[in-house]
Amino acid sequence: MTNPDLEGPFSSFWDDLLFEAEASAEPLARAFFQLYSTLATQNGDCLDLAYAPAHREGRGGYQIDGYALDAGRGDLYLAISDFRSDRQLETLKAAQIDALFERVRRFCELAVQPVFVNALEETSPTFEAAWIVYSHRSAIRRIRVIALSNARLSTRRKPEMTGEVLGVPFVCNILDFARYVDISAAHGGAEPIEINVTELNGAPLPCLPAHDIGGDHASYLVAVPGRLLADIYGLYGARLLEQNVRTFLQAKTKVNAGIIKTLETAPEMFFAYNNGLTATASGITTSKLPDGTLGIAEIENLQIVNGGQTTASILYASDQRKADLAGVFVQMKLSVVNPQRLEEMVPKISRFANTQNKVSEADFFASHPVHLVLEQISRRQTAPAKPGSLSGSKWFYERARGQYRDRLAYGTPAERRRFELEFPRDQFIDKTELAKVEVTFDCRPHIVSRHGQKCFLEFAETIGKGWTASEATFNELWFCRAVAKAITFNWTDKMVGTSAWYKEDRGYKVQIVTYTIAWLVHHLQSQGLELDLDLIWQRQELPEEIGAVMRELAPQVAGTLKDAPAQVRNIDSYCKLQACWAAVSAAKYRFISSIEGFVIDRTEAERARKQAIAAKKIDTDIDFDRVIVAMLEDTEPYLIFARAKRLLTPKSDSALRRLARGDIRLAGTERNALKYMLEKMQQAGFEFPAAAKSALVEREVQ
């Protein structure tokens, strides 16, 4: 053990790894890849990686374990696993790192050779990964490699370009155990990126201060050379982007044709034509330039919150179009925020900076209030006792990454044991897991097959619309049914993983699971039925009768997925298409097991849902009445703030005037306008008087 500070986290990591392997019924190496690749994706090191272990030992050996391709930008992501089975933390040495990257290099060189590709079995993971490289060779402009290791680097290394492979930059990055711990501890925030501007640019960047001395933040205006911006993005990729912008950019946006045209035809006008960037940092180092003006030498924790498309397009123009960036400059507004307020301020700056472009409210779903509602429900909603248990437990909804781990890490041993009894490890669900099960039951398995980021964004759009239509939809019944869906998904996932037919031909487990469940849901819907989710919640396990049907269906669905049309060379890509779902949903699978008694009429389920919404609305209205009564003390502060922030509408103004007269008999339109105004005031930072604040707090925690 090289670092005593990592002993506790390393022990916890092994607990997580063993649990992941058991829950998914996968080998330790596969579970390791899942843990590390998920964290790497969340951190922006890579896109969602498809697991495709391609190994050959001996002379000329090669290895990769996962891949992802961003064809629009020409980025090929390759991952290589360095999983150590020793329960003592080992050191990852420089020679070992070089050997890992060399194995990836050899794979890339082989994967473009027809003789190598044609000799592979087309159903093998090696062919799957090699075909991506072979078939997209002309589109690849940068290869980004990430080594995943549960050993600890002796010296931290930044991402670096180590020459070229296949004639394109070969950028190498390492996620060792120490960095794994740091990212996990960031709780969904960004892992700090430290930019040595002087080193990359050859000199500090001239800047113009745009703030008064003192305060929580400072602002600077900077003209960033296009070449410098491309180099920084080339090294760090999506890690440079604030999380919500990253999710949007990776999932939806391609490069901007107008930006490309300007860079090619009028690079000297780019500064004038482009809106520029908005960025944040937790600190900067400045120095005096030869002419006496101020320059930025280093930037700590740089995050682009607006202008991600501009940044990506500049790199694309340089890589794909060979555009000359010598005369290109990009204006940047840089806000340096107190590190203690970074987590609070960066999402706000990002949201306001993106109000006039395509980044929608759904793209900010990571911080949507529905998460707070679900978190609150999960902390108070006790599940029925499982068979053989004397008392019920709860399902832990993780709103922010690391919440569950933190609760296990702190407190006395007795407190930790009590917490695990109340919230068992197998009753944990986070945002991406929730998205996966909800989209599956919405009969969109092709979306789930696009993996975490894209599935999450589709889910966000659906839930965002539902929240706007009726916040009361997200009540205890909705949460309990979501948990029942998770129970169904998790059971099916483990069943597939332990099946003999799957062990003989591993691969595409998530796709098999989501398509199997979606087919059954679709089949029942065609008969006006659905699974009795309330019954599954009550039992806290999947009834054996439903499980028997899943056992019959899963291998049939797997057969359809793997028996793809002749022109399909990559099953993972095929599963992401609507055409794949069309083929599966139209299939006539047979099952002899009966689930009578475990399905209900859809109208009955909808009736219960509407009753739950009505009950929630009554509770909400009662809570809001208490807020209105608290406002009677003095309406003037509300009026002044709302006017200053331009939040006042004729209806909310009328409501405030009624309250000022002591009249609480508000019309429905006035009531709704007042409620909307107060929500916007709260978001804008209004300091509510004590009485109203107390009522609001009580309303939030109910």
pLDDT tens for each residue of 647-692? 888 888 888 988 888 887 777 777 777 887 887 887 788 887 766 6
User: Given a cut of 50, is residue 432 above it in pLDDT?
Assistant: yes
Sorted by sequence, the CB contacts under 8 Å of residue 222 that are 6+ apart come out as 205, 206, 207, 208, 296, 331, 332, 334
Q: What is the pLDDT of residue 621?
A: 59
Burial class (CB in 10 A: 0-12, 13-18, 19+), 533: buried
**What per-residue confidence (pLDDT) applies to 608?**
79
Averaging pLDDT over each range in 41-50, 207-216, 401-410, 531-540, which range is the top one? 531-540
C-beta neighbour count of 331 within 10 angstroms: 17
What is the C-alpha separation between 647 and 676, in angstroms, rounded? 9
Can you give 445-490 as a three-state secondary structure string?
A: HHHHCCCHHHHHHHHHHHHHHHHHHCHHHCCHHHHHHHHHHHHHHH
Q: What would the two tokens of residue 504 be?
A: 């003989």
How far is the C-alpha of 246 from the C-alpha of 43, rounded, in Å? Answer: 10
Instruction: Provide the pLDDT confidence category of residue 549 given band limits of 50, 70 and 90.
Output: very high
Cβ neighbors of 244 (< 8 A, separation 6 or more) are: 347, 350, 351, 359, 363, 364, 365, 366, 367
Query: What pLDDT is stored for residue 361 in this prediction?
Result: 44
Reduced to 3 states, what is the DSSP secondary structure of residue 130? helix
Mean pLDDT (the chain, rounded) = 86
* Cα–Cα dist 403/164, whole Å: 41
Q: Calculate mean pLDDT across residues 205-209.
A: 95
Distance CA 325, CA 487 (A): 53
Who contacts 643 (Cβ-Cβ below 8 Å, separation ≥6)?
A: none
Comparing 111 with 311, which gets the higher pLDDT? 111
- Give dist(CA 38, CA 569) in Å, integer: 26
| Domain positions in the chain | 4-185, 194-358, 369-597, 613-701
Instruction: Extract long-range pairs of 65-70: CB within 8 Å, 24+ residues apart.
Output: 65/33, 65/148, 66/33, 66/37, 67/129, 67/132, 69/132, 69/136, 69/140, 70/250
pLDDT higher than 50, residue 42 = yes
Tell which wins on pLDDT, 614 or 396: 396
- CA distance linking residue 280 with residue 300, whole number of Å: 9
Work out the number of other CB atoms within 10 angstroms of the CB of residue 356.
Answer: 9
Residue 382 DSSP symbol: B
**Average pLDDT over every residue of 341-353:** 60
CB atoms within 10 A of CB 160: 11
Tokens linked to 659:
């309250």
pLDDT for 343 equals 62
What pLDDT is attached to residue 356?
A: 46
Residues in the chain: 702
In the three-class reduction of DSSP (H, G, I as helix; E, B as strand; rest coil), residue 336 is classed as strand
pLDDT category at 559 given cuts 50, 70, 90 is very high
Cα 667 from chain centroid (whole Å): 41
Q: How far apart are CA 432 and CA 440, in angstroms?
A: 12
Q: What pLDDT score does 244 carry?
A: 54
- Indicate whether 46 pLDDT > 50: yes
Q: Which secondary-structure segment (H or E) carries 324?
A: none
User: Residue 674: its pLDDT value, please?
Assistant: 86
Helix intervals (H) in 632-649: 636-644
In angstroms, the CA 118 to CA 459 distance is 39
Largest CA distance in the chain: 88
